Structure 1
Amino acid sequence: MSGDHHDPCAVNSLIETPSCSPVEGRVVWDPAHSLWNGGMLAGALVLGPLTISPGAVAVFVATTGGAILLGHSVGFHRRLIHGSFKCPLWLEHVLVWIGTVVGMSGPFWMIRTHDLRDWAQRQSDCHDYLAHRRPILIDAVWQMHCRLELTHPPGFDLGKIGRDRFYRFLERTWMLQQVPIAGGLYLMGGWGFVIWGVCARVSASVIGHWFVGHLAHRRGPQSWLVEGAGVQAHDVPWAALPTMGEAWHNNHHAFPGSARIGLYPGQSDWGWRFIQLLETAGLAWDVRTPETMGARKVLTPAKP
């Protein structure tokens, strides 16, 4: 798969084309994601208070945390995008399906969006959209309701991932994947479970992903600086638990191919703990960490 690239720090799916640039472009409305994100938020805000119950809140907490841990953090980010560990294909499919039902988009969109931003931030400069430079409200509208159309974009090659029939199916039907979830929740607890287990969960995941991403490129602690990168990352310590370790974003910029993101004492990383559990069970192997990746010459320690 494209994630199994020989360079553990590579941007795996992106291909630099002649004259491609991350700077020039325009931000345009993305109707599909905008209506989806807006509809989920409206459902949560309008119907959430009318259907709240201890059971519904418990469903929200369990499904949100479980989907972010298994799907978004381990399935999408650490396995599919970075290939930081290997596992059986059936397990990868399960984890990526869970990542899809987080509700942000399909696997191909997630890979391209991540890799474009990753590549752009490593350049000396990039568009404000890719750097989260604009004020928080503008950035919120841009990231959750718009897309960037670069004047000279790079190319993409998803490799085996792009040819996988299951992933192609998920990409076409990512919104519809909420239907079986909603049906099961309705049978368990009625409309309250549906509103809190689908609308509130998806909305919290989308907004939380944007908000932590915004902060992680604006302010916060740093251990490392990446030489030549126009955008440096920061850690967001308070978000380590709800993001399952993804909020140690400065560590991730320093060692993007590592399955472990919380690298230092006191840095909670449940995604890493789950991968360790898989490894113990014989379901994960070739697990990469900074110790196994070798020295990265572009890193310098950040000043306190």
Structure 2
Amino acid sequence: MERPALIWLLFVHLGALPAPFFFTWSAALTMLALCWVTGGLGICLGYHRLLTHGSFETTTGIRRFLAWCGMMAGEGPPIMWVAAHRKHHQYSDEPEDPHTPQEGFWWSHVVWMLPKHPSSEWAKTYNKYAPDLLRDPFMRFLNKTFLWWQLGAAATLFLVGWLSADLSFGASLLFYGFFLRLVCVLHGTWLINSATHMWGYRNYETTDHSKNLWWVALLTYGEGWHNNHHAYQRAAQHGHRWWEIDVTWMTIRALQAVGLAWNVVPIPTEKDKAGRKAKKAA
């Protein structure tokens, strides 16, 4: 059993339980804003489309900021996250897939993180799947200091609430801005690993079971258009139909408009996509 992972997940989920008793609108809005910063900007834009797939390029400062935001989502440091996700794409839905749905919903959702792996195995995985991040001193720094940033965020939220109002508001910001926010972002990401490989529709024929699931896409800023993504993994745009809303793609377009994103990988033309269309696309 990977005890640090188990302890972390129990800490986060148990910490969210008192949240209903400390509800304030200010704390709830803070939670929503931080969900976007850590989940939308950090995980979807930073960890996934930028660091994992290189769907666009940006400045060193923005790259590091997005990596830091992703780390603050509580899903692990960037080198670990990127390495696991690249391995997932190599073996998608096969036994070697870290979170293969062949082992069931709960395995692909969360349980896959709990079996213990020797440190030597992690080192091999990092070297094979994330050598580019290993060469970056900033990414290595985030890998080493992951837990301290989480504890610092919890303390900061509590102190801001306490000093700006009272202890009750400090607790409110802590439970909503830290614990409940982490639970929401974690399960949003996990649904992509589990639900979008089990339910939904397919626009493209792929070698795995990836599917598009609209409600997961809404919860995860466009990441739920997962069959589209698995068909064209490096493409910056995951929503391929006019109604497939992709907030992360909108963010990339906004960065591109002001000169902060370039070499954006496009989706193929309709002619290029024709041979991969699913036979019964919804």
Which whole-Å deviations, capped at 9, do the CAs of 1:218-245 have from their partners, x for residues lacking one? 121110012xx2x220011012222010
State the identity as a percent: 27
More helix as a share of residues:
2
**Is 1:66 the counterpart of 2:37 in the alignment?**
yes
Q: Secondary structure at the match of 1:40?
A: helix
**Is 1:40 the counterpart of 2:40 in the alignment?**
no
Q: What does 1:1-304 correspond to in 2, within 5 Å? A: 29-45=1-17, 47-121=18-92, 125-127=94-96, 130-146=99-115, 156-189=128-161, 190-226=170-206, 229=207, 231-291=208-268, 295=272, 299-304=276-281
Which whole-Å deviations, capped at 9, do the CAs of 1:232-284 have from their partners, x for residues lacking one? 20011012222010000010001100111111111111101111111111111
Q: Secondary structure at the match of 2:103?
A: coil
Distance 1:129 1:251 in 2: 21
Contact conserved, 1:223 with 1:250, CA < 8 A, in 2? yes
Contact conserved, 1:143 with 1:210, CA < 8 A, in 2? no
Q: In structure 2, give the amino acid aligned to 1:285.
A: W
Q: Normalised by the size of structure 1, how large is the TM-score? A: 0.80
Cα pair distance change 1:249/1:157, threshold 3 Å:
closer
Q: In structure 1, give the amino acid aligned to 2:203.
A: S
Please provide the CA RMSD for this pair.
2.5
Which whole-Å deviations, capped at 9, do the CAs of 1:171-219 have from their partners, x for residues lacking one? 1111221233223322332121012111111122112221232111112
Q: Normalised by the size of structure 2, how large is the TM-score? A: 0.86
Which whole-Å deviations, capped at 9, do the CAs of 1:80-137 have from their partners, x for residues lacking one? 0000101011110001100110110000110111011111117xx4257532123334
Q: Secondary structure at the match of 1:215?
A: helix
Cα pair distance change 1:55/1:132, threshold 3 Å:
same
Contact conserved, 1:65 with 1:242, CA < 8 A, in 2? no
Q: Select the structure with the greater relative contact order (CA < 8 A; seq sep ≥ 6).
A: 1
Structure 1, unpaired ranges of 5+:
1-28
Q: In structure 1, give the amino acid aligned to 2:101.
A: H
Distance 1:208 1:148 in 2: 25
Distance 2:75 2:252 in 1: 23
Distance 1:164 1:94 in 2: 14
Contact conserved, 1:86 with 1:284, CA < 8 A, in 2? yes
Q: In structure 2, give the amino acid aligned to 1:88.
A: T
Distance 1:30 1:76 in 2: 23
Distance 1:161 1:50 in 2: 42
Which whole-Å deviations, capped at 9, do the CAs of 1:131-164 have from their partners, x for residues lacking one? 21233345445235336789xx876153342121
| Number of residue pairs the alignment of both structures matches | 268
More strand as a share of residues:
1
Distance 1:204 1:143 in 2: 19
